[in-house]
């Protein structure tokens, strides 16, 4: 949930660059999604770039969603040894655990503040997304607030998306505190299948021929997107038409066709010029193999000889290491009239070390070594490169340390360039009777989930629970009982309000056997 919030801001708020990248770069994947272990803080230090050090502190709710994050920096221009407060991020969630509101305070720019909020309908559709920036509004500057609205029909199909914008009261020539339509998309369906998208936008601010700022609110066409389907309701044709404002008509721009034969898809892409189809792009043959990987053939249209010619063939093969796949890409040599090797990515063992070898004529050859400990944790990976006509050169080494619960506690990166380094330390909440791995192994699948009246366990756990406890997203215990009959009779949740909850099963000694999220409908 936390990274979802950050990604929203990164799309629209350039001034929040520092905090966004700190979170994306330094939060390990372990704390994303449904995790039990929770991280308290992160400290990053390096001998290059600014800032020299970063300190991040996190606060989470009972559902392990990040509700508050603080960022402090220590750079070369700051007081040595002291951190300077930089960002504070706040987030809240609804009773089903979905992101609801986000606020971002940038302490370096005292006038800067960003807020996000979303709303859902009774069918759990995202119907509104709102963003507000506290910035000074000047002619041509981004608006102070943006609002995205989705409208659904009685069949729960999205039929319209609207982007609205608003400026502050000191903005001219736009009226203060008025929401203006900026971009609208209309969706049309037939038998539940999307058939057309119609896009329109209002220029609002733009420069006219006299290079004068003009404010235009009239919606103008942008493009149409058309969809066609075969008898199996699979997409068979996709067309983009762009608006020609000079002639007042839509003109064809791109066309894709799809032909399905078992696990094989044949696609042809064509571009249009002066409303005449041009065979300018490619023919794509794509086959899904039994192991879930794609094999592709790409062919280009030869205008001079009026025929298709081979270009690329790519595929995967099981490597010598179980669970890994080697990747091969071949190019068609027109002079030799045969396939030649172009790209190879292979995995193999060298002693107890996993080696990844990458070869491509356009790039230096790469060799990366991966070393794991006896618990299966990646403790070191070393990257070497071999440019043409030279030997192997060291590029980067990353070492990792873990605690007794297999939580990563330190990540140290050493670069070849000027002996640069980066060290990140992770501080986790203390765990008493369980680890993430053991709980994952013991994870009890619940059904039905979401549920209305009664919740059951889908498979047995190693020990019979003596007690069950149900918590709401605020961490309050709202339901409990004896656990002996849970596996056979389930848990009565009919009296609970709709929302998201956490079910904890414990044994006779109080040890946690399983933690599971569920939704009450």
pLDDT bin (cut points 50, 70, 90) of residue 280 is low
Phi and psi dihedrals of 486, rounded to 5?
-60, -45
Q: What is the largest CA-CA distance in the chain?
A: 81
Higher pLDDT: 445 or 162? It is 162
Note the CATH architecture for domain 1-122. Answer: Beta Barrel (2.40)
pLDDT bin (cut points 50, 70, 90) of residue 49 is low
Residue 496 has pLDDT above 80, yes or no: yes
**Which pLDDT belongs to residue 88?**
81
d(CA 97, CA 230) in angstroms, rounded, equals: 39
**What is the share, in percent, of the chain residues with pLDDT greater than 70?**
74
Structure confidence by residue, pLDDT tens digits, 146-155: 899 999 999 9
Neighbours of 51 (CB within 10 A): 22
**Which pLDDT belongs to residue 286?**
79
**Which pLDDT belongs to residue 347?**
92
Instruction: State the average pLDDT for the chain.
Output: 77
**Which pLDDT belongs to residue 170?**
56
Question: Which of 64-68, 85-89, 367-371, 405-409 reaches the highest mean pLDDT?
Answer: 367-371
**Which pLDDT belongs to residue 266?**
86
Top CATH class, 436-520: mainly beta
Please compute the mean of the pLDDT values over residues 46-63 and round it to a whole number.
Answer: 70
Phi and psi dihedrals of 509, rounded to 5?
-95, 0
d(CA 416, CA 295) in angstroms, rounded, equals: 37
**Cis amide linkage into residue 364, ω under 30° from 0:** no
Structure confidence by residue, pLDDT tens digits, 395-437: 999 999 988 777 788 999 999 877 788 888 888 765 433 343 4
**Which pLDDT belongs to residue 2?**
26
| CATH 2.40.128 in the chain, residue ranges | 1-122
pLDDT bin (cut points 50, 70, 90) of residue 227 is very high
Residue 229 has pLDDT above 90, yes or no: yes
Please compute the mean of the pLDDT values over residues 4-33 and round it to a whole number.
Answer: 32
Q: Is 433 helix (H, G, I), strand (E, B) or coil?
A: coil
| CATH 2.60.40.3580 in the chain, residue ranges | 436-520
Structure confidence by residue, pLDDT tens digits, 289-323: 777 788 898 888 887 888 888 999 999 998 888 77
**Which pLDDT belongs to residue 167?**
75
Please compute the mean of the pLDDT values over residues 6-28 and round it to a whole number.
Answer: 31
**Which pLDDT belongs to residue 459?**
55
**Which pLDDT belongs to residue 14?**
28
Residue 486 has pLDDT above 80, yes or no: no
Q: What is the pTM of this model?
A: 0.67
Residue 98 has pLDDT above 90, yes or no: no
d(CA 390, CA 233) in angstroms, rounded, equals: 55
Range with the poorest average pLDDT among 56-65, 98-107, 431-440, 483-492 = 431-440
Structure confidence by residue, pLDDT tens digits, 169-219: 555 556 667 888 999 999 999 999 999 999 999 987 665 666 556 777 889
**Which pLDDT belongs to residue 51?**
62
Q: CB under 8 Å to 20, separation ≥6 — which residues? A: 6, 9, 10, 13
DSSP assignment, residue 438? H
Please compute the mean of the pLDDT values over residues 82-99 and round it to a whole number.
Answer: 74
**Which pLDDT belongs to residue 400?**
94
C-alpha separations of 467 from 39, 193, 447, 456 in Å = 28, 48, 19, 15
Residues forming a β-bridge with 348: 355
Range with the poorest average pLDDT among 67-81, 283-297, 355-369 = 67-81
**Which pLDDT belongs to residue 356?**
94
**Which pLDDT belongs to residue 110?**
56
Structure confidence by residue, pLDDT tens digits, 443-484: 456 777 778 888 887 655 556 777 888 887 666 788 888 877
**Which pLDDT belongs to residue 54?**
75
Phi and psi dihedrals of 409, rounded to 5?
-115, -15
Question: Which of 219-233, 365-379, 444-458 reaches the highest mean pLDDT?
Answer: 219-233
Shortest CA distance to 509 belongs to which of 470, 478, 469, 463?
A: 463
**Which pLDDT belongs to residue 215?**
72
Higher pLDDT: 430 or 70? It is 70
Structure confidence by residue, pLDDT tens digits, 112-151: 567 778 888 887 788 888 887 664 444 445 667 889 999 9
């Amino acid at each position: 949930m936390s990274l979802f919030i950050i990604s929203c801001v990164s799309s629209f708020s350039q001034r929040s660059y520092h905090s966004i990248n700190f979170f994306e770069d330094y939060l390990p994947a372990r704390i994303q999604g449904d995790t039990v272990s929770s991280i308290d803080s992160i400290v990053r230090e390096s001998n290059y770039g600014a800032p020299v050090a970063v300190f991040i502190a996190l606060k989470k709710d009972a559902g392990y969603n990040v509700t508050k994050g603080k960022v402090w920096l220590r750079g070369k221009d700051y007081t040595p040894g002291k951190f300077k407060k930089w960002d504070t991020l706040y987030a809240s969630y609804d009773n089903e655990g979905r992101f609801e509101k986000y606020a971002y305070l940038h302490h370096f720019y005292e006038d800067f503040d960003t807020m996000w909020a979303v709303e859902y309908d009774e069918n759990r559709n995202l119907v509104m997304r709102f963003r507000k920036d506290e910035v000074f509004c000047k002619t041509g500057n981004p608006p102070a607030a943006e609002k995205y609205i989705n409208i659904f029909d009685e069949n729960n199909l999205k039929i319209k998306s609207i982007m609205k914008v608003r400026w502050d009261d000191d903005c001219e020539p736009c009226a203060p505190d008025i929401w203006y339509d900026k971009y609208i998309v209309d969706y049309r369906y037939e038998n539940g299948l999307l058939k057309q998208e119609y896009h329109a936008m209002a220029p609002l601010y733009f420069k006219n021929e006299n290079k004068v700022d003009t404010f235009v609110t009239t919606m103008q066409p942008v493009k149409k997107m058309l969809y066609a389907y075969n008898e199996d309701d699979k997409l068979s044709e996709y067309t983009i038409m762009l608006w020609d404002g000079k002639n007042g008509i839509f003109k064809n721009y791109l066309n894709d066709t799809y032909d399905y034969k078992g696990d094989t898809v044949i696609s042809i892409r064509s571009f249009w010029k002066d409303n005449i189809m041009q065979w300018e792009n490619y023919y794509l043959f794509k086959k899904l193999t039994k192991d879930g990987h794609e094999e592709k053939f790409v062919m280009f249209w030869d205008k001079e000889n009026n025929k298709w010619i081979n270009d690329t063939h790519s595929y995967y093969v099981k490597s010598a290491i179980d669970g890994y796949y080697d990747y091969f890409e071949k190019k068609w040599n027109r002079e030799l009239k045969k396939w030649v090797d172009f790209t190879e990515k292979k995995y193999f063992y060298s002693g107890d070390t996993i080696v990844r070898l990458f070869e491509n004529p356009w790039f230096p050859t790469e060799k990366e070594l991966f070393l794991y400990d006896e618990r299966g944790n990646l403790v070191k990976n070393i990257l070497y490169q071999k440019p043409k006509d030279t030997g192997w050169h060291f590029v980067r080494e990353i070492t990792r340390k873990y605690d007794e619960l297999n939580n990563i506690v330190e990540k140290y990166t050493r670069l070849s360039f000027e002996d640069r380094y980066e060290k990140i330390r992770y501080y986790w909440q203390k765990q008493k009777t369980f680890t993430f791995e053991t709980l994952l192994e013991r994870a009890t699948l619940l059904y039905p989930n979401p549920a209305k009246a009664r919740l059951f366990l889908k498979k047995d756990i190693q020990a019979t629970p003596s007690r069950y406890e149900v918590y709401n997203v605020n961490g309050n215990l709202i339901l409990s009982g004896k656990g002996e009959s849970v596996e056979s009779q389930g848990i009565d949740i009919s009296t609970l309000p709709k929302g998201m909850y956490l079910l904890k099963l414990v044994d006779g000694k109080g040890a946690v056997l399983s933690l599971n999220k569920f939704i009450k409908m």
